[in-house]
Amino acid sequence: MSEALRPMVKSRLYEQVLERLRAYVTEAGLKAGDKLPAERELAASLGVSRASVKQAIVVLEVQGLVEARHGGGTYLVRDTLDVEPVEQLVERRKRLPEVLEAREALETKLAELAAERRTEDELDAIRASLDFMHEEIVDGGFGVEGDRRFHAAVTAAAHSSLLADFMKAIAGQITESRNESLRQPGRPHRSLAQHTAIYEAIAAGDPKKAAAAMRKHVRTVAKVRLLDWVPED
Amino acid sequence: MSEALRPMVKSRLYEQVLERLRAYVTEAGLKAGDKLPAERELAASLGVSRASVKQAIVVLEVQGLVEARHGGGTYLVRDTLDVEPVEQLVERRKRLPEVLEAREALETKLAELAAERRTEDELDAIRASLDFMHEEIVDGGFGVEGDRRFHAAVTAAAHSSLLADFMKAIAGQITESRNESLRQPGRPHRSLAQHTAIYEAIAAGDPKKAAAAMRKHVRTVAKVRLLDWVPED
DNA sequence: TCGGGTCAAGTGGCTCAGCCACTAGGCCAC
DNA sequence: GTGGCCTAGTGGCTGAGCCACTTGACCCGA
């Protein structure tokens, strides 16, 4: 599609106010806890209505960058009005070695929690993923989908939405590494065996064993990757 | 701190409008591409001013959930007005037990990596945070800032921007729990001792020992919290 | 029949003026 | 000091209104 013919985006006024506000905070060197000028004042300075200023402030409010106290002024929460890196994760998460480190940290804990908290149904789901992966391999596949289901089932059984969210943040990268690592000779069978060990520890309700088994598994994946990958820094 | 005496949060009107809007979309079964009722109509139905409806719509707009076309109506971008999991982290992360679980997972790994990768300068920084915390305690403080610096220094020494980002995502909650836990009798000294043990393992370049020491430390914090907190669900 | 122009209704963008509720700080009485 | 009171400053919200843009119906001429 032609760059010139993409849909016209008419900048909303509040977006411009937002930019001016960010610039102002930077230029004036405002820090966390400092007070922003009053809405009426900002409106007058920028030559816009108070409603537009208000809309911009609401945006900053929902982003947690600013705190408006009824009757008491509006205050900076951080030293800047730029959004936090957390929201930029989507970009950052592309670096594989770090993803594998994070994966180890998260999945080890998830396996531990799963061993403590899994219900019978969840245990069945994990076992089902094992069976599925076995089928895939017997049919000559790599067990990619079974692998995915296994880790998803363990994550679900851990009952931690926060850790699950973190996993989701690196899910795309994990998928990529899974696809490649399971194509290594002998890997599908070995992976299935490791999954089984993790499953047994979870079934037995042994958190330490589950964590150890998961750690070993994730490290296996990491090692394979390192054979053909050299971290750039 | 008493649950009843925490700061009162008066819900802004636009937040209520936001909720009603989400509920409406769900109930009416609206899908991506469907048109929302006109602003004037919404204002009339909900019994609020158009400005308030507008503020809510601006919020949905910056979250990419809705697209407002000048003169053409406002349209759903997704099948729901709920924010995506990753963007939702900020909300979700408020649940303390989960935060502590995540913290254990992340910091254990961070300590391990720090033991492997720390430079001399970073080691100095960790030691400095120890000294700082010691000063604070001698001066009758709780060592809050020293504690923060210690964990920040360890995180930095691990050289993993992804894990660092995850930590950042729960930083606010950790701060809260830190403030309270360090106020328990005898806690500052005990915490300092645990920090020292972690430091020594990192200085010795012993990843396993560092991880174990950090795990113990984080679990101590978690236990203290569980004494006076009962998760509501 | 088809392409193009016109027009009016519907709708979002933005402003203005104003009232209310709450906060913060100074002042006074105790 | 301490607490109560008052007031200016400030955010929360409203209602009315104008403008700009989109949409679709309608009409006209080729």
Q: Is the CB of A12 under 7 A from strand C?
A: yes
Q: Which residues of A are less than 8 Å from B10 in CB distance? A: 70
List of chain B residues whose C-beta atoms are within 8 Å of the C-beta of residue A162: 89, 92-93, 95, 98-99, 101-102, 170
Looking at the fold, whether B45 and B137 belong to one and the same domain comes out as: no
CB A211 within 8 A of CB A111: yes
Mean pLDDT estimate for chain B:
82
Residue B54 tokens read as 């507008």
Is B174 among the domain residues?
Answer: yes
Q: Report if residue A18 sits inside a domain.
A: yes
- If you write DSSP's letter for every residue of A195-221 in order, what string do you get? HHHHHHHHHTT-HHHHHHHHHHHHHHH
Pairing mode, strands B73-76 and B66-69: antiparallel
B94 falls in which pLDDT band (50, 70, 90)?
very low
Average pLDDT score over residue span B191-216: 95
- In contact, B191 and B146? CB cutoff 8 Å: no
In a domain, B20, yes or no: yes
- Domain CATH number, residue B184: 1.20.120.530
Query: Which residues in chain B have Cβ-Cβ distances shorter than 8 Å to A92?
Result: 161-162, 165
What confidence tier does B84 reach under pLDDT thresholds 50, 70, 90?
low
pLDDT single digits (tens) B136-158: 888 778 888 889 899 999 999 99
Tell me which protein residue sits closest to nucleotide C13, measuring alpha carbon to C1'.
B70
Query: In this structure, is residue B58 part of a structural domain?
Result: yes
- Statement to judge: residues B210 and B154 lie in one domain: yes
Nearest to B54 among A55, A87, A163 (CB): A55
Task: Output the domain CATH number for residue B48.
Answer: 1.10.10.10
Predicted pLDDT at B196:
95
A208 Cβ partners below 8 Å, 6+ apart? Answer: A112
Write out the residue range of the structural domain in which residue B47 sits: 13-76
- Predicted confidence at residue B203, as pLDDT, reads 94
| Whole-complex ipTM | 0.51
Domain limit, last residue, from B76, B98, B115: B76
Element (H, E) at A90: helix A85-92
- B76 in helix, strand or coil? strand
Please tell me whether residues B95 and B173 are part of one structural domain: yes
Look at residues A53, A76, A99 and tell me which one is the last residue of a structural domain: A76
Residue with CA nearest C1' of nucleotide D24: B72
Question: Could you say which residues 15-44 of protein chain B have a Cβ atom less than 7 A away from any atom in strand C?
Answer: 36, 38-41
Q: What is the mean pLDDT of each run of 10 residues along chain A (233 residues)?
A: 44 86 88 88 91 91 84 85 54 59 93 94 92 87 88 92 84 76 81 95 95 93 52 36
Residues B65 and B103 in one domain: no
Residue-level pLDDT at A104: 92
CB within 8 Å of chain B, chain A residues 36-55: 51, 54-55
B118–chain A nearest CA distance, Å: 15
pLDDT in tens, B160-189: 888 888 888 788 778 777 877 777 777 889
A38 torsion bin: left (phi>0), alpha (psi -120 to 50), beta (else): beta
| DSSP 8-state symbol, B69 | E
Same domain, A164 and A106: yes
Does B125 lie in the same domain as B70?
no
Q: Which residues of chain A neighbour B59 with C-beta distances below 8 Å?
A: 58-59, 62
On whether residue B6 sits in a domain, the answer given is no
Please report the pLDDT score of residue B194 as a whole number.
Answer: 95
Asked if B90 and B193 count as a contact pair (C-beta separation under 8 A), the reply is no
Asked whether residue B88 carries a pLDDT value surpassing 80, the answer given is no
Same domain, residue pair B71 and B180? no
Q: Is residue A107 included in any domain, yes or no?
A: yes
* Residue ending a domain, choose from A76, A96, A122: A76
Q: What are phi and psi of B74, to 5 degrees?
A: -115, 130
pLDDT digits (tens, 9 = 90+) for B103-140: 999 999 999 999 999 999 899 999 999 998 998 888 77
B152 belongs to a structural domain = yes
Range of weakest confidence among B4-18, B21-35, B71-85, B195-209: B4-18
Beta strands in chain A (DSSP E): 66-69, 73-76
Q: What is the DSSP letter of A3?
A: S
Helix (H, G, I), strand (E, B) or coil at A130: helix
Residue A201 maps to a domain: yes
- Nearest residue in chain B measured CA to CA from A113: B101
Q: Do B86 and A162 touch (CB under 8 A)?
A: no
The verdict on A116 and A62 lying in the same domain is no
Please tell me whether residues A67 and A99 are part of one structural domain. Answer: no
Spatial distance between the Cα atoms of A117 and B58, rounded to a whole number of angstroms: 41
The phi, psi pair for A81, rounded to 5°, reads -105, 15
Q: Which residues of B touch A12 (CB under 8 A)?
A: 58, 61
Asked whether residue B147 falls in the same domain as residue B187, the answer is yes
Task: Measure A145 CA to nearest chain B CA, in Å.
Answer: 22
B118 and B173 fall within a common domain: yes
Q: Tell me how far apart the alpha carbons of residues B218 and B176 are, in angstroms, rounded to a whole number.
A: 14
Closest partner residue to B101 (CB to CB) among A62, A163, A165 is A163
pLDDT at B87: 46
Q: What is the pLDDT of residue B198?
A: 96
Query: A117-121, B39-43, B90-94, B183-187 — which is least confidently predicted?
Result: B90-94
pLDDT at A84: 52
Look at residues B129, B130, B210, B218 and name the one whose alpha carbon lies nearest to residue B178: B218
Q: Which value, to the nearest 10 degrees, does the dihedral of the CA atoms of residues B48, B50, B55, B61 take?
A: 120
Smallest Cβ–Cβ distance between B98 and the set A62, A99, A161 belongs to A161
Query: Exposed, middle or buried: residue A116 (CB in 10 Å: 0-12, 13-18, 19+)?
Result: middle
A54 with B59: Cβ contact below 8 A: no
* Close Cβ partners of A66 (under 8 Å, ≥ 6 residues apart): A36, A57, A60, A74, A75, A76, A77, A81
Counted domains in chain B: 2
Pair (A93, A34) in one structural domain: no
